[in-house]
C-alpha cells in the first residue's frame, strides 16, 4: 500500500465528484487533507465526514481558486493548520458548454479562470513552501478534451490543454528541488460536471472506447495516489490518460 503518513494534501474542488474521491483516497493512505469548496459547504462537510468516519484527518476551507487572493488563503490555511504542504491536486473545474458561435465572453472567461488560472493561482501560492522544503507533488486534473478537443467545449478544451503546457513547463522549473508535476486526463466519469454531456455524444464515446464502459471517480483517485506516492517519484511532466482508451480512439 502507498504510504502517505505525514504528508499534507490540498485537493481543490473536493466537495464532490472526482475531488471527493481523491480527498478520501489520500486520507485513507494517511495524508492529512484540506477539503476545498467554492459554494457548496454542505457537500464539503460530507467529504470531511467520510474522511473522519474512516479514521482520517481533514479540515475544510472555502476558497474560489479562480481568485488569486482566495488561492493564497487556501494554501496559507493548510500551512497554518498542518505546518506544511506536500501535495497539491488541482481538481477544481467548471464548464459552460456551447458552440463557439454562441459562446459569450463571460462563458469563456469563467471556464478559463477556473480551469487554467486556478491552477496558476494555487501552484504560485504553494510553490514557495515546496521549494523551501525541497519536496512537493503536484497533480493537475486535465481532460481528454485537452488531447482530442470536443465540439461545444472550445473554452474547456483550451483551458485543459493549457494545463498540460503549464504542467510540462513547471515540471522543468522545479524538478531540481524534488518537486514533481504531472497531469491526469480523465475520460468519461459520471459526475455532476459530466452530466451535461448530450446522450448521443455519450453513446458514441462508449462505442469508440476500447473498454466500452465509463470509469468511476475512484479510478482517478487511484492514479493520483500513485503519482503522489514514493512509487511515482521518478515521474514528472507527464500526462496520464485514465479514460478506458477513449483518447486514442478519437
The vertex-56 CA angle with 78 and 77, nearest 5°, equals: 10
- Taking the whole predicted model, whether its pTM rises above 0.85 is answered as yes
- Give tens-digit pLDDT for 128-137: 999 999 999 9
Residue 180 near residue 138 (C-beta atoms within 8 A):
yes
Which residues, 6+ apart, have CB-to-CB distance to 189 below 8 Å? 17, 18, 214, 215, 216, 217, 219, 220
Q: How many CB atoms lie within 10 A of CB 67?
A: 17
Of 111-125, 176-190, 193-207, the poorest mean pLDDT is in: 193-207
- Give tens-digit pLDDT for 42-69: 999 999 999 999 999 999 999 999 999 9
Please provide the distance, in angstroms rounded to a whole number, between the alpha carbons at the two ends of the chain.
34
- Give tens-digit pLDDT for 4-27: 999 999 999 999 999 999 999 999
Mean pLDDT of 80-96: 97
140 band by pLDDT with thresholds 50, 70 and 90 = very high
- Where helices occur in the chain by DSSP H, the ranges are 17-28, 41-53, 68-82, 105-112, 118-133, 144-148, 154-174, 199-208, 217-228
State the cell numbers at 217.
Answer: 471517480
- Alpha-carbon distances of 235 from 13, 45, 138, 171, 239, rounded to whole Å: 24, 33, 11, 10, 10
Catalytic position from the list 37, 135, 156, 188: 156
1 band by pLDDT with thresholds 50, 70 and 90 = very low
Query: Is 156 annotated in the active site?
Result: yes
Q: How many CB atoms lie within 10 A of CB 183?
A: 27
pLDDT confidence of residue 208: 78
Residue 197 near residue 187 (C-beta atoms within 8 A):
no
Taking every pair of Cα atoms in the chain, the longest distance, rounded to a whole number of angstroms, is: 50
Amino acid at each position: 500500500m502507498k504510504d502517505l503518513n505525514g504528508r499534507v494534501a490540498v485537493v481543490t474542488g473536493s466537495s464532490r465528484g472526482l475531488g471527493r474521491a481523491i480527498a478520501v483516497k489520500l486520507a485513507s493512505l494517511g495524508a492529512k487533507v484540506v477539503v476545498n469548496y467554492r459554494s457548496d459547504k454542505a457537500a464539503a462537510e460530507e467529504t470531511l465526514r467520510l474522511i473522519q468516519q474512516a479514521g482520517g484527518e481533514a479540515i475544510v476551507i472555502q476558497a474560489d481558486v479562480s481568485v488569486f487572493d482566495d488561492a493564497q488563503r487556501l494554501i496559507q490555511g493548510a500551512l497554518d493548520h498542518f505546518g506544511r504542504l506536500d501535495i497539491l491536486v488541482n481538481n477544481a473545474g467548471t464548464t459552460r458548454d456551447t458552440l463557439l458561435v454562441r459562446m459569450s465572453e463571460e462563458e469563456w472567461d469563467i471556464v478559463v479562470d477556473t480551469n487554467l488560472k486556478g491552477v496558476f493561482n494555487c501552484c504560485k501560492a504553494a510553490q514557495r513552501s515546496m521549494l523551501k522544503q525541497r519536496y512537493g507533488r503536484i497533480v493537475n486534473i486535465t481532460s481528454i478534451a485537452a488531447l482530442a478537443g470536443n465540439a461545444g467545449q472550445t473554452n474547456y478544451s483550451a483551458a485543459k490543454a493549457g494545463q498540460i503546457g503549464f504542467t510540462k513547463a513547471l515540471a522543468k522549473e522545479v524538478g531540481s528541488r524534488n518537486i514533481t508535476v504531472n497531469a491526469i486526463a480523465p475520460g468519461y466519469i459520471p459526475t455532476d460536471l459530466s452530466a451535461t454531456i448530450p446522450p448521443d455524444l455519450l453513446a458514441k464515446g462508449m462505442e469508440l472506447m476500447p473498454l466500452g464502459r465509463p470509469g468511476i471517480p475512484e479510478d482517478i483517485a487511484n492514479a493520483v495516489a500513485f503519482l503522489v506516492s514514493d512509487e511515482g517519484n521518478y515521474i514528472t511532466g507527464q500526462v496520464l490518460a485514465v479514460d478506458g482508451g477513449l483518447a486514442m480512439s478519437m
